[in-house]
Chain A
Amino acid sequence: MTTTQDPKATDGPPAGASQALSDFSLDEQQNSLGDVFRASVMRLKSGDLGSVPAILAIVVLATIFGLARPDSFLSLLNFANFLDQASSVIVIAMAVTFVLLLGDIDLAAGFTAGVSGAVLATRLQDGWSLPLALLAAFGVAALLGLFTGFMVAKVGIPSFVVTLANVLLFQGILLLIVRDGGSVRINNDIINDVVGGTLTPAQSWIIALVGLALYGASQYRKYKLSYGAIPISLVWIRMGLAVVLVGTVTALLNQNRAFASAPLPITGMPIVIPAIAVLVVVLSFVLDRLRYGRFLYAVGGNREAARRAGINVTRVELSAFVCTALVAAIGGIFLASRVNSVDSNTGANDTLLLAVGAAVIGGTSLFGGRGRMINAVLGGLVLALIPNGLGLIGKTTLVGWDIDFSSSGVKFICSGLALLVASSVDAISRKRTA
C-alpha cells in the first residue's frame, strides 16, 4: 500500500500533490488507521494547517495559565465564566466567516450586533413580546446586511471601505437607539439566561447524550459514505474521545462551582454550550451540505470561474453580507444577555477585531475560499483564554521586572500578537499551497 494521502479520510479540504500512474487508486483504497495518520501529516506538511495551530494554542495557553494559577485558572467557576466570556466573540466570528470566505470583510459586524441587541432591548422595554422583538432585531440586521451587500456587490465599493463607513454609520444608529450614553435594561429571563444561565444537571446530561448520539450518527454516516477510505477504527477513536470529553465536561459542570460563601450553589452546563453547538452544526450544514455553501467557497476561490459556471456572483456576495448580519444579530443577543442590558458600547471597542481574529486564528483565510465554522469556535476560545488567564495572573515579578499582566495594555498586546501570528500562518501557508 502506498504511503500517500487519501484526502477523503479527513474532514478538511485535502492538499498535497502527486501524479502517479493509477486511476482513482486513492478513492477506492481501503485505508488503515496508519494511512489516515500519514495522510494528515502529509496535509500538514503541504501547508494546510487548518485549525491545528488553534488547538495547539489552546493546549499551550491552558497549560501555562494552569501551572501559573492552578487554584483560580483551573477552578470550575473560571471555566464556566470563561465560556461565557468567549461566547459572543465566537458567534460574531462565525458571522464574519461568511464574508471572509468570499475574501471580503465586515468591519461593522460588531455594531450590527450592537444595533440588533439595542433593537431587541428597546422593543422588549416597550412591552413587545419576545418573538416580535426578536423578529424586529433580525429584521433590522437583515436590512443592515442588505445595505452593506448592495454597496459591495452592486455598487462595487470594496467591502473594507463600505464597512469602515458602516462602523460610524451603525455606531450612530446605535447611539440614537439607546439615546446617547444611556443604557437599556433587559428584563426578559429567556434573553438574560442565554449567557450566564445554566441548565439543571439532569438537562445537562440529556443535552450531552443527545449531542453525542448526533455526533456518532454523523460519524457513522461519513464512514458509510467513504466506502472504506475511513477505517472503522477511526470512527471508534473519535467517538471514544468525544464521549470522554463531553462526559468529563458535563460531570465537572454539574458540580457546585459557586464560592464557598455564596448563598446559592451553581450547577449545570452553561446554556452557551448547547447554544453555540447548535449554531455550529446549523451553519456548518449550510457551508458543507447546501449548494449555497459550495457557491460561497467557489466565489471565494475563483470569482471568474464561479461566474462562468453560471453562479450569480453578485447575489452570492450580497446574500453573504445578509448572512453575516443575521448571525451577528445572534451575537448581539449574546452580548446583551451577558450584561442584561444594551448601551452605546455594545459590540464596540475590540469586539469586531477579536471576532475576525478568532476566525483567522482558527484557520479561516483572510484571502477567501478557505474556512469553517468550527474555526471560529477554536479561535474564539484562544482569544478568550488570553485575557482570562492574564487577568488571573495579575501582578507578578518576572526575571526582575514587575509586570501587571491583568492590565489592558498587556492583554491587548498579547491578543494582537496572537492575531499577527495567526495571519502570518495564513499568509505563509497560502504561499505554500498556491
Chain B
Amino acid sequence: MHDVATQPRPAGTSATPLLEATGINKSFGPVHVLHDVDFAVYPGTVTALIGDNGAGKSTLIKCIAGIHSTDTGTLRFDGEDVAIGNPRDAFDLGIKVVYQDLALCDNLDIVQNMFLGREILRRGVLDEHAMEMSARQTLASLSVRTVKSVRQPVASLSGGQRQTVAIAKAVLGHSRLVVLDEPTAALGVAQTAQVLDLVRRLADSGVGVVIISHNMNDVLEVADRVCAMYLGRIAADLPKDAGMSRETLVELITSGRSGSFGLVDGIVE
C-alpha cells in the first residue's frame, strides 16, 4: 500500500525484537486510526515514537498495552505470537506503561505508591519492611540518587522525582518493555536531564524502552531509534545514526517525509 523509504535496520538488530507489531490496523467506528503499522522494540534500546497530535501514537501504545484491541495485525513478543487482550496480559508479559499524568497517590509515600495493588503481605498483614527494602533496591538499581527517604509522601516530591517514582513503580518486579508517555513534558531543564539519564540507564539494563515525546532535543539525546508517525502510518523508522537532525524530525512529523526519508506516495486518502 505504501512504502517506507528507509530500510536500514538499526544497530543491534541482529537480536530478535522484544516486541514486534506487524500490519496493525485499528479503527474507531468510521475513523481509521492505524494503517498497517509495523513497529518493533529491541531490548536494551530506546525507541522514540514521535508524531503530531492525532498521528496515532497513543492508540498504538494502547494497543500494545492491552487497553485497545487491534482490528488486524499480529503482535510478537520475544519472537512468539501473543494476544494482548487486556492490560493484565500486557502486565504479565512485562510491558509497563507510565502515563503522562503519572497516577501517583499524593497522600501515600514512595514505597506505598510503588507497591500499590501488589503489596507484600506476611501472615495477611502488610510487610512494610520487605516493601521498603525492595523499593530501595529498585531505586538503587536505577541509580536514583535524588531521593532522601523512600518514606516521604509523594506530595512532597519535585516533578522529576515524581517521574522517577512513577518509572521505578513501573519497573518494579518483572519488566521487559517500558513505555513512557511524555516523561519530560512538565519538567524543567535539570529535571529533564535527570529523567533522560534514567531512561538511558533503564535501556542499558536490557529493558526495551519506548518514549513518546514532542521534544526533539530529548529525542535526539536519548533515542537509539526514531519512529515517526504521520496520519496513522509509520512515516519513518530510523536508527539514530541515519543522519537525522531536528529539522528532519520536524518535517517527518508535519508532512510525513523529509528528503529521502518518509512516505513515498501520497498519504492523504
Contact = CB atoms under 8 A, between A and B. Distances in A.
Contacts of A73: none
B107 A294 contact: no
Nearest to B91: A310
Contact of A7 (B116, B152, B157): B152
B135 to A, nearest CB: 10
A305 B116 contact: yes
Interface string A289-309: 111001001101110111011
Interface stretch (B6-14, B124-132, B195-203, B216-224): B124-132
A349 interface: no
Given A23-B147, A294-B116, A294-B119, A16 B107 contact: no
Contacts of B121: 291
Interface string B93-135: 0000001011111111100110011110100111011001000
A397 interface: no
Contacts of A3: none
Interface string B144-162: 1111111111011110010
A305 B98 CA distance: 11
B149 A6 contact: yes
Contacts of A261: none
Nearest to B105: A301
A225 B128 contact: yes
Contacts of A233: none
Given A7-B152, A306-B116, A22 B157 contact: no
B19 interface: no
A69 interface: no
Interface string A5-24: 01110000111111111111
B147 A302 contact: no
Contacts of A304: 101, 103
B258 to A, nearest CB: 37
A434 B155 contact: yes
Contact of A17 (B113, B151, B156): B156
A43 to B, nearest CB: 10
A122 to B, nearest CB: 37
A46 B147 contact: no
Nearest to A8: B151
Contacts of A20: 146, 148
B201 to A, nearest CB: 14
Contacts of A289: 125-126
A25 interface: yes
Nearest to B149: A26
A243 interface: no
Contacts of B149: 6-8, 14, 24-27
Contact of B151 (A7, A21, A23): A7
Interface in A324-381: 369-370
Contacts of B132: 27
A418 interface: no
Contacts of B146: 19-21, 23
Contacts of B103: 302, 304-305, 308-309
Contacts of A306: 105, 116-117
Interface string B136-176: 10011000111111111101111001000000000000000
A302 B126 CA distance: 20
Among A23, A304, A308, which residue has the most Cβ atoms of chain B within 10 A? A23
Contacts of A27: 132, 136, 149-151
Contacts of B112: 294, 297-298
A297 B105 contact: yes
B126 A291 contact: yes
Interface in A22-78: 22-27, 46
Nearest to B97: A308
A304 B106 CA distance: 12
Contacts of B118: 309-310
A4 interface: yes
A290 B126 contact: yes
Contact of A310 (B106, B117, B144, B151): B117
A298 B108 contact: yes
B125 A14 contact: no
A234 interface: no
B116 A309 contact: yes
A144 to B, nearest CB: 28
A297 B118 CA distance: 15
Among B99, B126, B144, which residue has the most Cβ atoms of chain A within 10 A? B126
A106 to B, nearest CB: 20
A291 B102 CA distance: 22
Interface in B31-49: none
A354 B51 CA distance: 57
14 contacts: A7-B151, A14-B149, A19-B158, A22-B148, A23-B139, A23-B146, A24-B139, A24-B140, A24-B150, A26-B148, A26-B151, A27-B151, A298-B108, A305-B104
State the 7 A-B residue pairs at the shortest beta-carbon distance, nearest first. Answer: A309-B117, A301-B105, A26-B149, A305-B103, A301-B107, A369-B107, A17-B156
